[in-house]
Structure 1
Amino acid sequence: MSKAMQDPDIQFFVNRETQKQRFQGIVHEITARCWDTCMGNPGNKLDSKTEGCISNCVERFLDASNFVVNRLESTPAPAASPNKSTGFLFN
């Protein structure tokens, strides 16, 4: 392992940037999914029906995501074994 990756400040920075990237990905996915589901013909303003649909869509997406995360956290993970050819968990 390189000295740079052993530096706690660099590791903290990398972890924080990874979290930001994941959050942006989730926002993008929610936006795309709920826009496609709820939007008809865009106008100058969102009507109350569309606004409610988008709000409910986001809430259901977050509920489902939280359910999956909680389920995964409560299920014991099998022991991961490194790939024999590369030494990494994934190719």
Structure 2
Amino acid sequence: MDAQGATADPQLQQFIELESQKQRFQQLVHQMTEVCWEKCMDKPGPKMDSRTEMCFSNCVERFIDTSQFILNRLEQAPKSRGAFD
């Protein structure tokens, strides 16, 4: 199969897109973990205190909210540009 035949296969394209989405999700989780760890974890220990737990919860929620906001704006951008053309 040549390179063009591989790109024309809809199942292969769907598989590649699904794997790309998984990779983006994993990168997002890694980034969120890193940011929230730096922000919230003072001294690692055997248990998290309630303040640290609340910090992690708030950090993750804000990270998700921000990501969703950005995705929504990016989805709307082509629509709004089309209105000005």
TM-score class, shorter-chain normalisation, is 0.7 to 0.9
- Alignment root-mean-square deviation, CA: 1.7
More helix by share: 2
Amino acid at match of 1:16: L
Unpaired stretches in structure 1, ≥5 consecutive residues: 79-91
Q: What is the 5 A alignment of 1:55-74? A: 55-74=57-76
Q: What is the 5 A alignment of 1:37-52? A: 37-52=39-54
Identity fraction in percent: 54
For normalisation by structure 2, the TM-score amounts to 0.85
Unpaired stretches in structure 2, ≥5 consecutive residues: none
Q: How many residues align?
A: 79
Which 4+ residue blocks in structure 1 deviate beyond 6 angstroms? none
Distance 1:10 1:67 in 2: 31
The higher relative CO (CA closer than 8 Å, separation ≥ 6) is in 2
Amino acid at match of 2:17: N
